[in-house]
Structure 1
């Protein structure tokens, strides 16, 4: 029977343990309750548990992070899991601990945290953004530190990446791409698009759905394509350029039908 030496209790549901020469984060409902460093865990048959293997870098991180940071991160993960009504990928534990610990260090050193993709993140991942907003409030209350809204976006990426079949890096890449497209449209239309406009929101929502279709190899049929090309020639040219930007970033082709729908949204923006 395996025996696990408790090295650090992260929360009621997570403990840092070792078995032989290997180290893990052991996850399970109530597995850390009343446990202390140095205790040996065995007979875990009645506890549904998950092991997260740790690298040397991970181990150093957990050893050196303040206990209050570990506790609040675990509370955030529990809160996110409950709000989403799904279990998150176990690897979010190390990733979020690392991110929040580094963010707090920078803030305490007076380093400004900037997030140029905040608006797009809020529109593209509303559930994760809402949970991340609550997480920031928890951090402010527990750690007595002022945290900028920029962090909401970054934490939202971690939460999204912790969901099944999701990727934090892909979410960040798509958000950057949407931001790039919006800036390109602003440049071509010679205008600053107000992010609180409903038309802007619809444009971003359309881009999110478009990127999802492109990534999955799907497309839509546009029966008005030839009319759009003739009546909205200027907007179609911009939309065509956008399709090439997407193609260059994702290495996947965007159909002319999709270009036509992008042109319609640009026409609406140009009519403001």
Structure 2
């Protein structure tokens, strides 16, 4: 069915916002879709290569303000990138990625062309926590280089991976970054307390980071991983330094997250810390 809808705003030749009877406002992207069109004109819904809703008023305004500053060819390219990400993740992306990643990549291109580089302090954690998103972000960076001839610095891979993770989990970037910062702090406490430098590419480091990440998720879901009093007492006697350090980490987590952390986390943290420090 060739549904005709009314244009509300032409953002450029390739992007329009239209009024839809069921979805209210909808963004339509397609080559030449806005060419010589104006508000009030009818347009075929099927003419768009990509359609998405922007229910959040702030995001809609951000998108409206952003588009005039971006080359029309780049909007087409963003379409290809988002299609690739959705395809590779095998699930629909939260629509806020249209605004957030377009905004991020447009400014990342300008930064890179001016040789202004942003370092990403969470790169090892991001690679460890979100391996699939990280791999797809590497592919995005390659696509940017192939299409535009711009080589993003390594730190950008991490930022793009976070945007992808945000779009598949519906977590905000702020929330994700706050948790990554907490994990980084916890790892630094381990290094300082045990007087070690942890190899960020080791399997045990990856296991520790994954465990801390899952522990944070369990805190938010009020989940327990079981009450093992005998095992706790045995570990306390056998590995007192690691057991005490595990409790130190738990107290930092409780303070940062402002929520209680289940006591049984100490058992599993002690095992991870013992394994890690033994090899270090």
TM-score (norm 2): 0.84
Structure 1 unaligned segments of length 5 or more: list them: none
Report if the CA contact (8 A) 2:141-2:151 is conserved. no
Report if the CA contact (8 A) 2:31-2:76 is conserved. no
Q: In the TM superposition, what is the alpha-carbon distance from 1:24 to its structure 2 partner?
A: 6.0
Residues 13-70 of structure 1 show CA distances to partners (whole Å, capped at 9, x for unaligned) of xx33356xxx96614xxx6255242334435389895322555443221101122332
Write the distance in 2 (CA, Å) between the matches of 1:34 and 1:62.
15
Structure 1 residues 202 and 55: alpha-carbon distance in aligned structure 2, compared to 1, 3 A threshold: closer
Tell me the equivalent position of 1:129: 134
Determine if the alignment matches structure 1 residue 17 to structure 2 residue 17. yes
Report if the CA contact (8 A) 1:162-1:168 is conserved. no
Write the distance in 2 (CA, Å) between the matches of 1:196 and 1:106.
28
Tell me the equivalent position of 2:84: 79
Q: Give SS of 2:168's match.
A: coil
Correspondent of 2:53 among 51, 54, 79: 51
Report if the CA contact (8 A) 1:189-1:270 is conserved. yes
Q: In the TM superposition, what is the alpha-carbon distance from 1:170 to its structure 2 partner?
A: 2.3
Correspondent of 2:242 among 235, 249, 259: 235
What's the Cα RMSD here?
2.5
Q: In the TM superposition, what is the alpha-carbon distance from 1:255 to its structure 2 partner?
A: 2.0
Tell me the equivalent position of 1:140: 145
Residues 137-190 of structure 1 show CA distances to partners (whole Å, capped at 9, x for unaligned) of 111122211211110110111111111544333222222221111111111111
Structure 2 unaligned segments of length 5 or more: list them: none
Structure 1 residues 9 and 214: alpha-carbon distance in aligned structure 2, compared to 1, 3 A threshold: farther
Q: In the TM superposition, what is the alpha-carbon distance from 1:218 to its structure 2 partner?
A: 0.3
Report if the CA contact (8 A) 1:117-1:175 is conserved. yes
Q: In the TM superposition, what is the alpha-carbon distance from 1:243 to its structure 2 partner?
A: 0.5
Aligned length: 262
